[in-house]
A and B are shown apart, each in its own frame.
Chain A
Amino acid sequence: MRTDKQKFVRSPAPDTSLRVNRSRRRFMLGAGGFTFATAVGVPDLSAFAAAANQKVLNPYVTLATDGAVYIMSPAAEMGQGSLTSLPRIVADEMDADWSRVTIVPAPPNDKLYGNPLFGRLQYTAGSATVTGYFTPLRQFGAQVRYVLMENAARHWNVPISELTTAPGTVVHANSGRKLSYGDIAAFAKIPGEAPEVALEPLDRARFRLIGHDIGRIDVPLKVNGSAQYSIDVQVPGMIYGAILRQPVEGAAPERIDEAAARAIEGVMQIVPLKYGVGVLADTPWAAFKAKNALKVSWSRKATGWGHSSAKALEQFSAVARDPSRKGVAWEEKGDVHAAMKRAATVFEGEYRADYAYHAQMEPLNSVAAVSPAGDACEIWCGTQSQTIAVTAVANALGIPESRVKFNGMLLGGGFGRRGNRDVEFIVDSALMSKAAGRPVKVLWTREDDVHNGRFRPLYVNRISAGMDANGQLIAWHHRVVSDRVLAFMDPVRWKVMKGRDNIAMRGTELPTYEIADRLAEGLQQDTGMRTAPLRAIGVGQNAFANEVFMDEVAAKRGIDPIQFRLQHLAKVPRARHVIEEVARMADWGRKREGRGLGIAYLDYSGTQLAGIAEVSVERASGAINVHNFWCTIDVGVPVHPDNVIAQSESSLVYGLGLALMERITIEDGVVQQSNFYDYHVPRMKDLPPIHIKLIPTPNHPTGAGQMTTPLVAPAISNAVYQLTGVRLRQQPMLSARVLQALREGTTRIS
Chain B
Amino acid sequence: MTQKITAPLTVNGQRHTITAHEDTPLLWVLREHLKLTGTKYGCGVGQCGACTVHLDGKPTQSCLHAFKDIAGRRITTIEGLAPGGQHPLQKAWIAEQVPQCGYCQSGQIMRAAGLLKEKPRPSRDEIVEYMSPNICRCGTYVRIVRAIERAAKEV
Contact = CB atoms under 8 A, between A and B. Distances in A.
Binding partners A and B: yes
Interface of A: 29-31, 78-81, 215-216, 218-229, 231-232, 234, 240, 263-266, 283-286, 289, 359-363, 410-415, 443, 445-447, 642-643, 646-647, 649-654, 675-677, 681-685, 687, 690
Contacts of A266: 4, 21
Interface in B43-76: 43-45, 47-48, 50
Q: Is the interface of A mostly helix, strand, loop or mixed?
A: loop
A264 B50 CA distance: 28
Contacts of A683: 132-135, 141
B150 interface: no
Given A265-B21, A360-B137, 10 more contacts: A215-B97, A218-B102, A221-B102, A232-B31, A361-B137, A412-B102, A412-B103, A413-B103, A443-B41, A650-B100
Contacts of B20: 283, 285
B38 A226 contact: yes
Interface string B59-98: 0000000000000000001110000010000110111011
Nearest to B110: A225
Contacts of A649: 139-140, 142-143
A126 B41 CA distance: 27
Contacts of B43: 446, 675-676
A677 B45 contact: yes
A116 B114 CA distance: 47
Contact of B47 (A222, A234, A675): A675
How big is the B interface, by class?
35 or more
Contacts of A643: 97
Which 7 interchain pairs have the tightest Cβ spacing? Answer: A225-B38, A653-B139, A222-B102, A79-B100, A79-B101, A412-B103, A224-B85
A79 B138 contact: yes
Interface in B15-36: 20-21, 23-25, 28, 31-33, 35-36
Contacts of A224: 38, 78-79, 85, 90
A684 B145 contact: yes
A653 B104 CA distance: 15
Nearest to A683: B132
A329 B100 CA distance: 37
13 contacts: A29-B94, A31-B95, A231-B41, A232-B31, A234-B37, A265-B3, A284-B31, A285-B25, A362-B42, A414-B101, A650-B140, A652-B139, A684-B145
Nearest to A705: B100
Contacts of A684: 127-128, 131-132, 134, 141, 144-145
Contacts of B137: 359-361, 413, 415, 654, 681
A83 to B, nearest CB: 12
Q: Is the interface of B mostly helix, strand, loop or mixed?
A: loop
A225 B36 contact: yes
B94 A223 contact: yes
A410 B41 CA distance: 15
B39 to A, nearest CB: 7
B21 to A, nearest CB: 6
Contacts of A446: 42-45, 48
Contacts of A361: 40, 42, 48, 50, 101, 103-104, 135-138
Contacts of B24: 283, 285
A230 to B, nearest CB: 11
Nearest to B100: A79
Nearest to A649: B142
A231 B106 CA distance: 15
Given A219-B99, A361-B42, A362-B103, A676 B135 contact: yes
Contacts of A676: 43, 45, 47-48, 135
Contacts of A240: 32
B39 A225 contact: yes
B11 interface: no
Contacts of A81: 100
A685 B132 contact: yes
Contact of B139 (A78, A362, A650): A650
A313 B32 CA distance: 44
Contacts of B47: 675-677
Contacts of B131: 684
Contacts of A79: 99-102, 138
